[in-house]
């Protein structure tokens, strides 16, 4: 059994952290209007003390999209399948920390072969930036996406100027593979983009290292659901 199959067996949960596919019918987890609430939580600037557009977080998450208004983003997120919500359980309440979503799926349709990859977007709520939960929750969200879509690779595009994403995604195993000049629209101008990729093999190796570091040599890596990773 692969490490991703093991995580699936435990519902992509380690300790208090879990990655869950958004489903509007799961009202015990996702309240009515959940996507709209998320949108307003993501509105704001990336850096305190800088003069930035109030939508600068959204512009970074949805890079290249000329319209990041409520009426554009909320319907867009509703069509991303699967839209993954990563969060922590606080007693019996699930608290969202961030989201991940495929933007374009490449290759065969589900059930028509195993040659499939996708482009991916993500974002974390500002109040969780810099927290120790971010990286393991990203691991769970990516594991869910790889496994449920049966992907060979996940690709990402970012603005060349987005150094924070560059550093963070490298920790998860992404590798920069190309720079594309004058590619993505940003406030009316075409700017450069960087393409990065994460293969399934590299990601599985990353997950195994991460779990080994968490559990140690004596741990039972077949039972990650017993971890106190976020305690």
| Residue 56, pLDDT score | 84
Helix (H) or strand (E) holding 194: strand 189-199
Mean residue pLDDT of the chain comes to 90
Classify residue 200: in a domain, yes or no. yes
The parent domain of residue 44 ranges over 3-226
- CATH code of the domain covering residue 151: 3.40.630.30
Helix locations, the chain, DSSP H? 3-9, 34-42, 56-61, 70-78, 134-149, 163-171, 200-215
Residue 27 lies in a domain: yes
Is residue 231 one of the residues assigned to a domain? no
Rounded Cα distance, 176 and 185, in Å:
20
| 77's tokens | 């997120």
Interior/surface letters 149-184, b for 16+ CB within 10 angstroms, e for the rest: bebbbbbbbbbeebeebbebbeebbbeeeeeeeebb
How many independent structural domains does the chain possess? 1
Residues in the chain predicted with pLDDT less than 70, given as ranges, are: 45-54, 215-231
Model confidence pLDDT, tens digit, residues 46-90: 665 555 666 789 999 999 999 999 999 999 999 999 999 999 999
- Say what the pTM is: 0.89
């Amino acid at each position: 059994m692969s490490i991703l199959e093991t995580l699936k067996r435990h519902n992509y949960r380690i300790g208090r952290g879990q990655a869950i596919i958004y489903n509007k019918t799961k009202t015990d987890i996702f309240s009515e209007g959940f996507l709209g609430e998320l949108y307003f939580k993501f509105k704001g600037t990336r850096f305190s003390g800088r003069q930035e557009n109030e939508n600068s977080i959204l512009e970074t998450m949805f890079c290249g999209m000329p319209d990041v208004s409520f009426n554009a983003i909320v319907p867009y997120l509703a069509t991303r399948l699967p839209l993954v919500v990563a969060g922590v359980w606080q007693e019996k309440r699930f608290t969202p920390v961030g989201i991940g979503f495929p933007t374009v799926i490449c290759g065969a349709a589900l059930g028509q072969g195993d040659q499939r990859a996708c482009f991916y977007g993500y974002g974390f709520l500002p109040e969780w930036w810099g927290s120790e939960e971010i990286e393991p929750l990203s691991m769970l969200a990516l594991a869910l996406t790889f496994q449920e879509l049966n992907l060979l690779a996940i690709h990402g595009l970012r603005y060349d100027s987005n150094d924070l994403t560059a550093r963070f995604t490298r920790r998860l195993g992404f590798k920069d593979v190309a720079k594309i000049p004058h590619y993505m629209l940003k406030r009316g101008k075409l700017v450069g983009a960087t393409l990065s990729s994460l293969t399934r093999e590299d990601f599985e190796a990353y997950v195994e290292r991460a779990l080994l570091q968490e559990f140690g040599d004596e741990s039972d890596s077949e039972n990650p659901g017993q971890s106190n990773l976020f305690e």
